[in-house]
Amino acid sequence: MRLKNIAMVAMMLLSSGGACADAHIPSSMTFAAADWCPYSCSDGSGIVSDYLRELFAQRNITLDIQVIPWSRALQEVRFGHIDGLLTLVPGEADGVLMPASPTMSYQDCFFKRPGSDWTYTDMAALQHSVLGVVQGYGYSPEIDAYIAGAKPGSVHAIAGAEPSERLIAMLQRERIDLYLDDVRVTQHTLKRLEMMPGAITVAGCLPEKPLYLGLSAQPEWSAELIKWLDDALAEADNQHRWREISEQY
């Protein structure tokens, strides 16, 4: 009987120890996001927004998502004023932890007007074409270097709100020959504008790239939560769930 009681006490201590280990992780967190619909939209919805809310709920954490200018978001997370970033690519922010497992992937593609025979094969294909891009967006080392060293008038960089919508308008008005943007973002914009699917066409894509979340390195609980996220993001059921959510957009 005494041994049984000792065993029960030991189990209770182990159980309470596990609860204490989680106690310092807050039950509510604030993540910043750019207005990058359908990944993260200004109304708080989005593929990544919806998915990560569900994922964090598995840990009994409520996720509050604030859509703010990206430069401000990077500063806020670096100094620990917010808990994390909803979307992040490697090398984009200092003082931020990323899980080993990505949240999902994204892909940038070239878009052209119907009837154009232009196709992206390599960097040489960009010669003699006017390219539209989003200012400050990182595409690939080769593309970024091309944009930085482009001749005047050969690249139009769009800044401000609704860049995808404005790039589509510039393409239709023949102010540019092609533009480069995330394929899901362009598809979502075309749907929102109620444009016909054939209004613009894909002319080649860059390789898919992993998209991560970022966690401020300031809180003492960051490393523990990152460890949990490594496993949770890699689980087959969770990966299946983000694909289900993406189909809704």
The CATH number for 83's domain is: 3.40.190.10
Residues 175 and 96 in one domain: no
- The number of angstroms, rounded, from the C-alpha of 188 to the middle of its chain's C-alpha atoms is 15
Are residues 96 and 126 located together in one domain of the fold?
no
125 within some domain = yes
- 8 within a domain of the structure (yes/no): no
Region of 237 on the Ramachandran plot (φ > 0 left; ψ -120 to 50 alpha; else beta): alpha
Residue 148, SS3? helix
Report the domain count for the chain: 2
CA–CA separation, 7 vs 9, rounded Å? 5
- 242/193 same-domain check: no
**pLDDT digit string, tens, across residues 59-102:** 999 999 999 888 888 889 988 899 999 999 988 888 899 999 99
Domain with 230 in it: 27-105+209-247
Using the predicted structure, report yes or no on whether residue 34 has a pLDDT greater than 50: yes
Bridge-based pairing state of the strands 28-33 and 108-112: unpaired
CA-CA-CA-CA torsion sign (28, 34, 38, 44): positive
The amino acid sitting at 220 is E
Claim to verify: residue 83 and residue 51 sit in the same structural domain: yes
Q: Are residues 135 and 192 in the same domain?
A: yes
Q: Average pLDDT for residues 120-130, to the nearest whole number?
A: 94
Question: Pairing mode, if any, of strands 62-67 and 28-33?
Answer: parallel
- Residue 57, amino acid: A
Same domain, 41 and 83: yes
Tokens found for residue 51 = 């998915």
- Predicted pLDDT at 154: 96
Instruction: Answer yes or no: is pLDDT of 16 > 50.
Output: no
One domain for residues 115 and 190: yes
